[in-house]
Structure 1
Amino acid sequence: MSFAPLIIAPSILASDFARFGEEVRALDVAGADWIHLDVMDGHFVPNISFGPEVVRALRPLSARTFDVHLMIAPVDPYLEAFAKAGADHITVHAEAGPHLHRSLQAVRALGCRAGVALNPGTPASAVAHVLDLVDLVLVMTVNPGFGGQAFLAPMLDKVADVKAMIADRPIVIEVDGGVGPDNAGACAAAGASVFVAGSSVLRGGPDAYADNIAAIREAAALARGEMV
């Protein structure tokens, strides 16, 4: 069986906000595949993080894929700003607005890869009708809004459901929330290939980032039979 490449996407939500630029550079050097940027509006989720100008400021500091996760509603008015700021991927929530098709079409029209995210309370079937418009499906493994939460193990069944729905489409499955070496293997076995990790990567400071990233990658690879 062939698998999608394993992707580790550290979330800068867990970084030192006073050292954003240095943190992004350190994650790049440490072997991050993507940089995950969690955008929160205090409305769709009970927290506020940052907007497109922060993405714009960070963009020159890394050539890694910028994976922008918009936890905002309404989302459509802000898509162009994040695309122009340097997003490579833009993921919108299935729950964030009434016209999901339109949002995803707009993301692609802006030249970005399109993702759709599912909150824990939303079934996999909610995105079955848009799979031809997406490049990734993000399964939230915590309720969005805050970093450092405990992984919700029942979401593994949702990952497996999404994997079955995707069938042979070239779509990757991303997991986000409480992901670390202790559950990355189970996520990989269920079908995930992209692992968003905040606290588990950024703990210990920059000197620990490479080892933390490697531990998640190795746990996922072992579950897929790619390492002994």
Structure 2
Amino acid sequence: MAIQISPSILSADFAHLADEAAAVADTADWLHVDVMDNHFVPNLTLGLPIVESLRKAASLPLDCHLMIEDPDRWAPAYAEAGAGSVTVHAEAARSPVRTLREIRRLGARAGLALNPATPVEPYADLLGELDMLLVMSVEPGFGGQRFLDVVLPKIRRARELIRSTDASVWLQVDGGVSAETIERCAEAGADVFVAGSAVYGAKDPAAAVEALRAQAARAAG
């Protein structure tokens, strides 16, 4: 499986987002944008206007992760703004199939995210509606958290479910991904990795992306 790295600008310098995006443009696959509303999660971060501006300034496609209430209402706007991928949370979406289909209709990849305590099995029948399944490896809301090893069995189950279907679904992991944890995630079956402080906390973000990709590729075999 092809390994993809999606640096999270939640750990970047918000005063220089265009420069931070350019710093990883030659080595990363996506630019991960954490959208938080201070309701679904206890933090307030970037919103639609920033996404619209960043889309004009960044060469990488935007991977928008909506940690918000009422994603059924707001998710299509992010696709319309030019996001390459829009992920909504299973815990927040009231009409996930309709919302995922609308994201796809508008030209973006559709993703479904699961919090650490949310089991993957109830969503197996939705895999055909997804382009990506995101397994959170921290409680959503803040960057820089410690990786939760308890999610590794869920990543394995998610990969098994994906393999059992005809769906072509990427398996993303987000939270505490670093040089110390990425290999375990890749061995468990993840192929898309969100890394915030591991990239933007490094002296050379581009080199950090390359190093993480190499580690994941080796572990995935």
TM-score bracket relative to the smaller structure: over 0.9
Question: Which residue does 1:182 correspond to in 2?
Answer: 180
Matching of residues 42-121 of structure 1 within 5 Å: 42-121=38-117
Does residue 35 of the first structure (1) align with residue 17 of the second (2)? no
Question: Which residue does 1:129 correspond to in 2?
Answer: 125
TM-score (normalizing by structure 2)? 0.95
Q: CA deviation at 1:143?
A: 0.3
- Unaligned runs of 5+ residues in structure 2 are none
The answer to whether the Cα contact below 8 Å between 1:116 and 1:127 also exists between their aligned partners in 2 is: no
SS of residue paired to 1:97: coil
Which range moved further: 6-15 or 164-173?
164-173
The answer to whether the Cα contact below 8 Å between 2:6 and 2:31 also exists between their aligned partners in 1 is: yes
Question: Which residue does 1:17 correspond to in 2?
Answer: 14
Q: CA deviation at 1:25?
A: 1.3
SS of residue paired to 1:154: helix
Distance across 1 between alignment mates of 2:102 and 2:69: 15
Query: Could you tell me which amino acid in structure 2 is paired with residue 179 of structure 1?
Result: V
- Unaligned runs of 5+ residues in structure 1 are none
Could you list the per-position Cα deviations for residues 155-179 of structure 1 after superposition, in whole angstroms to 9, with x for gaps in the alignment?
Answer: 1110001001111421110000000
Question: Which residue does 2:210 correspond to in 1?
Answer: 214
Q: CA deviation at 1:92?
A: 0.5
SS of residue paired to 2:149: coil
Query: Could you tell me which amino acid in structure 2 is paired with residue 57 of structure 1?
Result: S
Q: CA deviation at 1:86?
A: 1.4
Q: CA deviation at 1:68?
A: 0.6
The answer to whether the Cα contact below 8 Å between 2:69 and 2:92 also exists between their aligned partners in 1 is: yes
Query: Could you tell me which amino acid in structure 1 is paired with residue 65 of structure 2?
Result: H
The answer to whether the Cα contact below 8 Å between 2:5 and 2:195 also exists between their aligned partners in 1 is: yes
Choose the corresponding residue for 1:140, options 136, 146, 154. Answer: 136
Query: Could you tell me which amino acid in structure 2 is paired with residue 93 of structure 1?
Result: H
Q: CA deviation at 1:97?
A: 2.5
Distance across 2 between alignment mates of 1:127 and 1:63: 33
Question: Which residue does 1:195 correspond to in 2?
Answer: 193
Which range moved further: 158-167 or 208-217?
208-217
Q: CA deviation at 1:218?
A: 1.4
Query: Could you tell me which amino acid in structure 2 is paired with residue 177 of structure 1?
Result: G
Query: Could you tell me which amino acid in structure 2 is paired with residue 113 of structure 1?
Result: R
SS of residue paired to 1:111: coil
Query: Could you tell me which amino acid in structure 2 is paired with residue 182 of structure 1?
Result: E
Distance across 1 between alignment mates of 2:170 and 2:15: 32
Query: Could you tell me which amino acid in structure 2 is paired with residue 196 of structure 1?
Result: V
